[in-house]
Structure 1
Amino acid sequence: MTFYPLEFTGVKLYQPKDQPFGFFGWQGIIPSKAGKMASIMTDLMLEKLVTTEEVFARLDPVRMGQVIEPAMRAAAVRIYTKVGVEYFPFLYYSSTDDVREFAREEILRRGKALLVDVISEFRERVKDCFDIKHMIVTNSIKNKLLVVNMFQTVGAKEFVFIERSGAYFGFLFGVVQAVVFYFADIWWLLPLFGFFVGYATNWVALKVIFEPIEPISLGPLGTLQGLFLKRQPEVSLEFAKLSATSFLNAESMWEEILYGAYSDRFWALFDAKFDAFFDKEIVGGGYRKTVMACAFGGKGVLELKAATSKALADELYSSLCYGNEHLDAALGLEETMAERLAALPPKDFEGVLHPVFQEDEIKLIAVGGLLGMGVGFLQTLMYI
């Protein structure tokens, strides 16, 4: 019930926002709050682990241009063909192979210079052009299974403890229940104790996982600390790896930058850079400007500019994604997050992960109580 079903199952006449329950139906607690949990996690991550500016400061635009050159070379062929056929058909079809190769190389050289300039400007204005929170929240809502897998992996040992503690604590509480019921044969005691056992079992299990926050020495008996917090180095590695591969990867970043919440700002930056590039490199000054004006007219030059800009923009995403492996390595998010999570004081470490699902602990506890009550009613029916 914590993880599944991923989507609301039942008669969906009404389901409160970010809540697992509805009118005759249920959605896993974590899937129902995937977006909200992602939002909280992102805020805490940016506050305590790493900033967007710091991450993208590691991006070397020149090196990025070198890495994606093979993709840009293929894009240059397509751009040359598309623009050439539409605006220079005579020159395009009458040109020799050497001339075409020279034209494509020029497009590649100048296009790469433009892209390096765009990436450099983007890096300086990353907070204006890239909404990392929107990216993570959107991906979490679209891919609830990734969120579920993340929690199941990071908290695998704690969930095993919850399962086993249900048997241990349930047995101890059950002994007390049996003794009381032996001396007070009242039917409603079984459902009442069932609720108490289910509620107390989950409550104790969750307390043991997260408390105490700071380690308490027990001398020869060892150290007392929340089970989850004891595994801080291990959890840090798992959390960082899953975050980097599932939500903070290069492909997701480029998709958010080019098509996400602030994409209009990125394309405004791109257009400004392209306009300056076109006026200088394509139109130029002096006789070149005169020739262009005579050949195309003022309107024609603007149409050529628009067509070239669109052709470049259409190729941008696939070209940038060619360097995804390089970008992931260059940004080093997994290593940075793992190192800084592991180095956090226990209180801060608990504050990064626990609040993500803290508000739903009462639901987990209450569900345990209700299920225990249901078992108590079944016991009553069997006894009768």
Structure 2
Amino acid sequence: MIDAALLSVPIVAAVAGWVTNWLAIQMSFYPVHFVGSGMFRWQGALPRKAETIAHLFIDKTLRQFGNLNAAYQQLEPYRIVEQIVSQVTPRLDEYIDEAMYKAQPVLWDNLPPILRKRIYQRAKAQLPSLIEALVDDFGDNLDELVDLKALLSHELTQHPDLMNRLFKQAGPLELKAVVNSGALIGGALGCVLASAWWFYPTSWLLPAGGLFIGFITNWFAISWLFAPLKSRRFLFWSIQGLFLRRQPEISDVWAKLVS
């Protein structure tokens, strides 16, 4: 007759697998700031490594384009010009009035309306070329004007939860699947452990097996998120890391968060 305690091994292993995976995810995200003191300080893995991860993102992006100027050209600067012109033109008369009243209020007050109208018209005609020249000049000197890593480091210092929000918004289903996988893998390994205990009931087997199951469930959880790097075919399935297969969505979330 099979001992009831033996039957509980897969159940306990499944619960332990779920709990350890859930705890691993929580410890990756929290606490956002360091807690404790001295040797007993802890901060979530993602907030702690956020700056390093962000710099890797930047380095990889720039390697693809060559430099920041080349990356900027991929943004289609002419669209930036069109956007700026469309936003400025409706209020250009107002901007001119404001500037002239500050510089030459008496002259502007006494200027005939027809001359004012010509100034408005000329400014509107020249605006696109001026904005285009400004945008081109900005793009040509972008490497000197902008330090992406410094900007991102400052942003992450001000908002250490930024990387947490990235992963949570980009992959809530994936994170949930990883936690739930702990129960499935833990239960399956628990069955193996129970079988091993049935044939070899030694005192060290269950504790050692429990540690092994905890390690395997956590290792699989992390691996499942980020490996394999590239999509691979296995029979009828395409296999790739859960987050890696969602790179377009993650890129979109990342762009919105840092914009």
Q: What TM bracket, shorter-length normalisation?
A: 0.5 to 0.7
User: What does 1:19-98 correspond to in 2, within 5 Å?
Assistant: 23-48=39-64, 52-57=68-73, 58-60=76-78, 63-64=82-83, 66-67=85-86, 68-84=88-104, 90-91=106-107, 95=110, 98=113
Deviation by residue 1:143-169 (Cα, 9 ceiling, x = unmatched): 343422221233334322321221122
Match of 2:201 in 1: 183
For 1:106 and 1:214, how far apart are their aligned partners in 2? 57
Match of 1:150 in 2: 166
RMSD after superposition: 3.7
- Closer, same or farther: CA 43–173 of 1 in aligned 2, 3 Å: same
Aligned length: 225
- Closer, same or farther: CA 134–71 of 1 in aligned 2, 3 Å: farther
Higher relative contact order (CA 8 A, sep 6+): 2
- Closer, same or farther: CA 238–141 of 1 in aligned 2, 3 Å: farther
Match of 1:261 in 2: none
For 2:40 and 2:186, how far apart are their aligned partners in 1? 29
- Tell whether the 8 Å contact from 2:81 to 2:131 is kept in structure 1 after alignment: no
Give the share of equivalent positions with the same residue, in percent. 21
Letter in 1 for 2:163: V
Match of 1:166 in 2: 182
- Closer, same or farther: CA 158–64 of 1 in aligned 2, 3 Å: closer
- Tell whether the 8 Å contact from 2:178 to 2:224 is kept in structure 1 after alignment: no
Match of 2:148 in 1: 132
**Does residue 4 in structure 1 map to residue 22 in structure 2?**
no
Match of 1:211 in 2: 228
Letter in 1 for 2:146: F
Match of 1:300 in 2: none
Match of 1:245 in 2: 256
Deviation at 1:36, TM superposition (A): 1.2
Deviation at 1:203, TM superposition (A): 1.2
Provide structure 1 residue ranges, at least 5 long, that are not aligned to the other structure. 15-22, 250-384
Question: Secondary structure of the equivalent of 1:151?
Answer: helix
For 2:104 and 2:122, how far apart are their aligned partners in 1? 12
Deviation by residue 1:279-327 (Cα, 9 ceiling, x = unmatched): xxxxxxxxxxxxxxxxxxxxxxxxxxxxxxxxxxxxxxxxxxxxxxxxx
